């Protein structure tokens, strides 16, 4: 059993090895079609306390960096650390995680003036927009969120053919989306 004194003494290479192996195994579950990215991350977060889950953790580290680390790990520790095909494909497509706006998950690339807003406006092409809800910890429907949605909606009026409402918090979006879309679609 670890105590606060021993937890601080854990070898970083051991932690790195566990994190890399968790990602490899998570990718195998994904590639086999057993579960999706979100379900795997949520399962490991809720079941093991690994927060964030392996996919979100890899996205924040940078998928290109994770790929390089797995290639080194494979050489040092063997074929059980071989980089998964899905990871190689994402990196080959330029999907490096949070720093590029897309990895295992999409990430906001907000327009100027929306960087610190509770609702981030992110245009994807000429006629598609993503409204990212970013009001941690649970994206509660606070006045700032409602005002942010109204501001972004007015700015998009007549220019966007499609608007997607997304959340930077993977645990929250499902119920919140239903609540938010109803009044917007009725206007």
pTM for this prediction: 0.72
- Domain closes at, from 74, 92, 110: 92
148 within some domain = yes
68 and 125 share one domain: no
- Alpha-helical (H) ranges within the chain are 4-7, 12-31, 37-48, 54-61, 63-77, 85-92, 143-156, 173-186
16 and 62 share one domain: yes
Question: What is the bridge-based pairing of β-strands 128-133 and 162-167?
Answer: parallel
**Helix H or strand E segment including 97:** none
More confident position, 67 or 2: 67
pLDDT of 139 strictly over 50: yes
Helix (H, G, I), strand (E, B) or coil at 125: coil
Number of domains in the chain: 2
104 within some domain = no
| 7-27 residue pLDDT tens | 566 788 888 999 999 999 999
Q: What domain range includes position 16? A: 4-92
Confidence band (pLDDT; 50, 70, 90) for 143?
Answer: confident
177 within some domain = yes
């Amino acid at each position: 059993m670890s105590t606060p004194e021993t937890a601080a003494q854990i070898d970083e290479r051991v932690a790195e090895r566990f994190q890399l192996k968790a990602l490899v195994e998570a990718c195998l579950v994904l590639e086999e079609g057993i579960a999706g990215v979100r379900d795997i991350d949520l399962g490991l977060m809720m079941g093991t306390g690994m927060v964030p889950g392996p996919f979100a953790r890899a996205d924040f580290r940078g998928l290109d960096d994770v790929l390089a680390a797995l290639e080194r790990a494979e050489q040092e520790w063997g074929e059980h650390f071989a980089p998964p095909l899905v990871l190689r494909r994402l990196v080959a497509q330029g999907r490096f995680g949070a720093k590029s706006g897309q990895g295992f998950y999409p990430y906001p690339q907000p327009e100027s003036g929306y960087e610190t807003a509770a609702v981030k406006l992110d245009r994807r092409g000429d006629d598609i927009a993503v409204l990212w809800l970013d009001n941690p910890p649970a994206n509660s429907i606070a006045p700032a969120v409602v005002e942010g949605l109204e501001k972004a909606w007015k700015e998009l009026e007549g220019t966007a053919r499609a608007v997607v409402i997304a959340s930077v918090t993977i645990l929250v979006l499902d119920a919140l989306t239903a609540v938010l879309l109803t009044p917007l679609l009725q206007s």
